[in-house]
Amino acid sequence: MEYVRRNLGLLLAGIAYAVLSCYFIWQDQIWYTLFPFALIAVYYAIYQTEWAFLSLALFTPLSINIEEYTQSFGLFIPTEPLLFGFMLLLILMQIQRPIVPKALWKNPLIWAISFYLFWVFVTSISSSDPVASLKFLLARLWFLIPMLLLGTYVFRDKINISRFFWLFSIGMIVAITYTLIVHAGYRFGEKESHWVMWPFFKDHTIYGAIVALVIPLIFGLYFSKKHTPLIQATLLAFMGISLLGLYFSYTRAAWLSIIAALGVWALIRFNVKFSILAAVAAFAGAVLFFSWDSIQMELERNKSEHTTEEFGERLQSATNVSTDASNLERINRWSCAIAMFEDFGNLGNAHSEFLGPLAEMGLIGLLSICLIIAAIFYKAITLYNRWPAEDKEIRVLLIAMILSLTTYFVHGVLNNFLDTDKAAVPIWGMCAMIMALEISLDSKSKEVMS
């Protein structure tokens, strides 16, 4: 009885919530029933900031765009409200007691991203629709600020890096398993592969891109250290499920991005010098230039279609520029993006992380995204080379990050997803990890020198 008296208020609140929930459900106002969950999220964000931040990794693959249900505006639940809340929380924390390391502001990656955001702001002012452009800038800010700045604070503890990868992998495995089960009901048909991942992913292109992105992270977790038999078996199962998900995504760009990542792994593994890479690239460029006519004729002879379910033919269709509808549509979008850069247009997406900024923000926009990508890989590779050899776990996870980022930005030639939480959270999260590890290594070096 004493226990009941002490918790009478909580009991009455629970009963009131249950009654109100029933009423709102009856009135088709189900969203109001989520209010207590919002309060719980606020509590954890304030008092359990690190775990609340890490929960983004789990929620991101499973987030749902409410546009599918409200037919109004697009918002990924629960990740985007959490990210916006973290952005506000970070500002308040920074005002009260600065938590962002001063060394972070000197990082070339931060400078490159700041230049990009500055140019987005400048072009928003001169935009034909400044309100829409400023909304685009705000959406970029609530991805970048919490993931980069708060992320660097969270990842100062290296164990949070593996935790993030574990949570992201678990979320993806749930999404992949769901997709495979639904897809199996249609005998893994190619046509059905375009939508069976709904509601977690919009279509097979972004699904394939994120499946490809998570594969190096799962392999990284497996090889980073010695695990118990149960953990080993779990990660091996994750590998199998993710590879099945990749295959049945029927996404050619995702398949090719994994091949590209394997090539980057070989270059790092065998320590190929940059001078050799530059020479090979120059030679390949010369061959491409002088043989372009014959190459173009050969491409036009390729009649393989992307609608086939056969792996080899589907890969061959990637170079079909004469009859493949998907390729022709993409080439048309690229041509339109270039034409938009030269003049103006507003009818569609460029389907490229590179041509999109070119079309929307001119040559400086393209340069800004190229600077960001160059800074990411320069910092990641140099950090891997500097990291102590005896710390195998972090070195392996760094390799996994480099390969994961490679899959995305190779895929980014053909598609662009950084305006969604599915890509933005893992990509900018890994950037925060790289910066946090570099700050940690630099501080240790200073301690040794002193």
Q: What is the pTM of this model?
A: 0.83
Residue 127 lies in a domain: yes
Of residues 193, 207, 197, 199, the one with CA closest to residue 68: 199
Residue 448 lies in a domain: no
Q: Is the pLDDT of residue 319 over 60?
A: no
For the segment 263-311, what is each residue's pLDDT rounded down to a tens digit? 999 988 888 777 787 777 777 767 666 665 565 565 556 555 555 556 5
Q: How many domains does the chain have?
A: 1
Residue 69 lies in a domain: no
Of residues 111, 100, 144, the one with CA closest to residue 374: 111
- Secondary structure percentages of the chain, helix, strand, coil, to 5: 80, 0, 20
Ranked by mean pLDDT, the top range of 215-229, 311-325, 413-427 is 215-229
Spatial separation of the C-alpha atoms in residues 434 and 377, rounded to whole Å: 10
For the segment 118-130, what is each residue's pLDDT rounded down to a tens digit? 999 999 888 888 8
Residue 449 lies in a domain: no
The pLDDT value recorded for residue 378 is 93
Q: Looking at per-residue confidence, does 226 or 36 come out higher?
A: 226
Q: Looking at per-residue confidence, does 373 or 139 come out higher?
A: 373
Spatial separation of the C-alpha atoms in residues 53 and 93, rounded to whole Å: 14
Per the structure, the complete domain to which residue 250 belongs is given by 23-62+75-438
Q: Phi-psi region for residue 356, left (φ > 0), alpha (ψ -120 to 50) or beta?
A: alpha
Q: Looking at per-residue confidence, does 38 or 122 come out higher?
A: 122
Q: Is the pLDDT of residue 185 over 60?
A: yes
pLDDT tier at 422, thresholds 50, 70, 90 = very high
Residue 10 lies in a domain: no
What is the average pLDDT across 325-354?
A: 59
Residue 446 lies in a domain: no
Ranked by mean pLDDT, the top range of 88-97, 285-294, 379-388 is 379-388
Of residues 431, 439, 369, the one with CA closest to residue 402: 431
Residue 2 lies in a domain: no
Residue 3 lies in a domain: no
Q: Is the pLDDT of residue 327 over 60?
A: no
Q: Looking at per-residue confidence, does 245 or 2 come out higher?
A: 245
Q: Is the pLDDT of residue 22 over 80?
A: no
